[in-house]
Structure 1
Amino acid sequence: MSGRQIAALEQLWPVYGLRVADAAPVDPAGLFDPAGLFGRRAPLVVEIGSGMGDTTVEMAAADPDRDYLAVEVHTPGIANLLDLVHRRDLGNVRIAEGDALDLIDLLAPGSLDAVHIFFPDPWPKSRHHKRRLIQPAHVARLRARLAVGGTVHCATDWAEYAESMRATLDADPGLVNLHDGYAPRPAHRPVTRFERRALAAGRPIADLVYRRRR
């Protein structure tokens, strides 16, 4: 990590950070209330795999009425996002370190306004497909935490994974595709350095947006 990132991790983690393993239940049902992190109660977006944080920061800055909880395991990415959040003085972003699905299970059913999953690891080898985030059991857990009308938005530059994502999301009985197949590229999702590299390498980007209907 750069000196800037090391300083951000040391100084800003206590302000903006949460370790999933330390997310303390706040009621007898064993659920975690993120309102304590933000100091307010607002519609909540969970971003799974925020990378270096560029997308998180841009979307949160343009959407101040919602809170953004970014979940990441890569320490340099966490540190970079901490620094960006501080520089932009964003009160509606917090960063969780750890397993996103463990955190999802701690949230109350119907408590999320949206789930963002941008460019997750495609695990391209067949023997590794079981490690993919978008698979039926995981999608069911995500959907259960969405409010009715809430959305799950995925993006990938891996064509085979895009087809697998679409088939998996289509098969979930509680989700409906908001588009006829892949979504037009949403203007509100910033183009990141990773996405530019993918496009330069000839890998088209696929967006998928689904809404919880029941």
Structure 2
Amino acid sequence: MSDAQERAWTELAPRFVIPVQRDAAATSILPGSHVDPAAVWGRLAPLVVEIGSGQGHAIVHAAASAPRRDFLAIEVFKAGLARTMLDAEKAGATNLRLVEANAPEVLQHLLPTASADELWVFFPDPWHKKKHTKRRLVTPGFAAHAASALRDGGVLRLATDWEDYALQMRDVLDGAAEFERAFEGEWAERFDGRVLTAFERKGARAGRDIRDLAYRRKARA
């Protein structure tokens, strides 16, 4: 990491990063762990969670633009979290917190049931080689974890520039009993809260279409 990113971990992590108990792996979450959002953010407010926040461009912009909402960035790469903290400090985004962990474990173990108003999955690793597609994030198992973390009526928003991954996402979520489409036609309209990032620019330059999806969490029985 750069000197500035190292400084972020020394000076800013105590303010922004949620400490978690680990299981075996460095980015795992110990089963049975949990956080109390009211205690973490010091208030009760709608919670937006971004999975794979990267450099934090989307979530820092969103947090700075919506101070009445709370935001959580989930990322495994320390340098990306450091950049997020630096930008959040500059933007005055005091409603943003970060966790360095595997996203499915955060949804499964750390977040209380029905605690999130929105989940964002923007440009996840496409694992585009056929032999690697099994590593993709959006699977039926992920859909179940997302459904658990979302409140009734909460929204799961996704975007990708890989057509076959977009089709896989749509198939998985169309088949998830806990979700219903929050769009009409083949694809959702671009989400206004999603700022243009380096990943999206790269995909556009390569001539790939950007696909958005949005699914609403059905009411629990």
Q: TM-score, normalised by structure 1?
A: 0.92
1:2 alignment partner in structure 2: 2
SS for the counterpart of 1:18 is: coil
2:194 is aligned to 189
Q: Which of 143, 148, 151 is equivalent to 2:152?
A: 148
Stretches of structure 1 that go unaligned for 5 or more consecutive residues are none
Please say if 1:209 is aligned against 2:214. yes
Answer whether contact 2:72 2:96 (CA < 8 A) is retained: yes
2:69 paired with 1:66: yes
CA distance in 1: counterparts of 2:33 and 2:5, whole angstroms: 34
User: Residue by residue, what CA displacement relative to the aligned partner does 1:164-202 show, whole Å, maximum 9, x if unpaired?
Assistant: 001101111111111122111122211112211211111
- The alpha-carbon distance between structure 1 residues 3 and 30, as it changes in their structure 2 partners (threshold 3 A), is closer
Contact 1:174/1:212 (<8 A) preserved: yes
1:125-165 deviation digits (Å, cap 9, x = unpaired): 23322221100011111112111110000111111100000
The verdict on how the C-alpha distance between 1:121 and 1:24 changes in structure 2, with shifts beyond 3 A counting, is closer
CA RMSD between the two structures: 1.8
Deviates more, 1:16-25 or 1:77-86: 16-25
Q: Partners in 2 of 1:32 and 1:186 — Cα distance?
A: 28
- The SS at the match of 2:21 is helix
Amino acid at match of 1:196: R
Structure 2 contact 21–33 (Cα < 8 Å) conserved: no
Task: Return the alpha-carbon distance in structure 2 between the equivalents of residues 57 and 123 of structure 1.
Answer: 26
- The C-alpha deviation readout for 1:107-133, integer Å capped at 9, x for no partner, is 222111010011111112233222211
Determine if the alignment matches structure 1 residue 34 to structure 2 residue 43.
no
Q: Following TM superposition, by how much is the alpha carbon of 1:24 offset from its aligned partner in structure 2, in angstroms?
A: 8.7
SS of the residue corresponding to residue 153 of structure 1 reads strand
Mapped contact 2:64–2:92 kept (Cα < 8 A): no
Deviation digits for residues 65-110 of structure 1 (CA, Å, limit 9, x no counterpart)? 2111100011110100010111111111001001111111222221
How many residues are paired up?
A: 211
Distance 1:20 1:122 in 2: 28
Output one character per residue of 1:36-80: Cα deviation in whole Å (capped at 9) or x when no partner.
Answer: 221112111111100001111111122222111100011110100
Check whether the contact 1:20–1:99 (CA below 8 A) recurs between aligned residues. Answer: no
Instruction: Please list, as runs of the form range in 1=range in 2, the aligned pairs for 1:1-214 lying within 5 A after superposition.
Output: 1-21=1-21, 31-106=34-109, 107-180=111-184, 181-214=186-219
**Could you tell me whether the CA contact under 8 Å between 2:173 and 2:215 is conserved in 1?**
yes
CA contact (8 A) 2:45 2:70 kept: yes
> TM-score normalised to the size of structure 2?
0.89
Q: Over residues 10-33 of structure 1, what are the superposed CA-to-partner deviations in whole Å (9 max), with x where a residue is unaligned?
A: 1101110124436799xxx75421
Quote the Cα distance in structure 1 between the aligned partners of 2:20 and 2:162.
29
User: For residues 135 and 142 of structure 2, what CA distance do their matches in structure 1 show?
Assistant: 11
Percent identity between the aligned chains? 41
Against the structure 1 CA distance between its residues 24 and 161, is the aligned structure 2 distance closer, same or farther, given a 3 Å change threshold?
closer
**Which runs of 5 or more residues in structure 2 are unaligned?**
23-28
